[in-house]
Amino acid sequence: MPGRVLVTGGTGYIAGELIDQLLAQGYRVHTTVRDKAKHEFRLRAGWPDAGQRLQVFETDLLGDAGWAEASAGCDAVAHVASPFPLGVPRDKDELIVPARDGTLRVLHHAKQAGIKRFIQTSSAAAIAYGQPGRHHFDYTDWTNLTTGVPPYIESKTVAERAARDWVAVHAHDMVFCSINPVAVFGPVHDDDLSTSVQVVKMMLDGRFPAIPDMGMSVTDVRDVARAHILAIEAPAEKVRGERFPTATRFLWLSEFAAILCSRTPELAARVPTRRMPDWVVKTLALVVPAMKQVRGELRNVREVSGRHTEDVLGFTFIDPEQTLADTARSLAAHNLLKR
Q: What pairing do the DSSP bridges indicate for beta strands 175-181 and 243-246?
A: parallel
CB burial class (10 A; 0-12, 13-18, 19+) of residue 128?
A: buried
Nearest C-alpha neighbor of 227 from the set 143, 306, 159 = 306
Strand, helix or coil at 152?
A: helix
Q: How far is CA 129 from the centre of its chain?
A: 17
How far is Cα 163 from Cα 101, in angstroms, rounded to an integer? 9
Q: How many CA atoms lie within 13 A of 217 on its CB side?
A: 24
- 77, 8 Cβ separation under 8 angstroms: yes
The pLDDT, as a whole number, for residue 88 is 57
Domains of the chain: 4-185+220-246 (3.40.50.720)
Q: Which whole-number Å values give the CA distances from 22 to 47, 122, 184, 255, in the listed order?
A: 11, 19, 19, 33
Whole-model pTM? Answer: 0.94
- 228, 7 Cβ separation under 8 angstroms: no
Count of residues making up the chain = 339
Q: What pairing do the DSSP bridges indicate for beta strands 250-252 and 215-220?
A: antiparallel
The pLDDT, as a whole number, for residue 105 is 97
The pLDDT, as a whole number, for residue 286 is 82
H or E stretch at 108: helix 93-112
The pLDDT, as a whole number, for residue 296 is 73
Task: Name 179's Cβ contacts closer than 8 Å, sequence gap at least 6.
Answer: 119, 120, 121, 122, 224, 227, 228, 231, 244, 246
* Active site residues per annotation: 156
Cβ count within 10 A of residue 40: 18
The pLDDT, as a whole number, for residue 192 is 85
The pLDDT, as a whole number, for residue 321 is 98
The pLDDT, as a whole number, for residue 287 is 73
Per-residue pLDDT tens digits for 84-101: 554 555 668 878 988 999
Nearest C-alpha neighbor of 305 from the set 215, 224, 218, 225 = 218
Nearest C-alpha neighbor of 245 from the set 121, 338, 135 = 121
The pLDDT, as a whole number, for residue 295 is 77
- DSSP assignments along 273-306, one per residue: -SBPPHHHHHHHTTT-HHHHHHHHHTT---EE--
Cβ count within 10 A of residue 148: 10
Per-residue pLDDT tens digits for 98-120: 899 999 999 999 999 999 999 99
Using 50 as the pLDDT threshold, list the residues of the chain that sit under it.
86
The pLDDT, as a whole number, for residue 294 is 72
Region for 268 from its dihedrals, namely left if φ exceeds 0, alpha if ψ lies in -120 to 50, beta otherwise: alpha
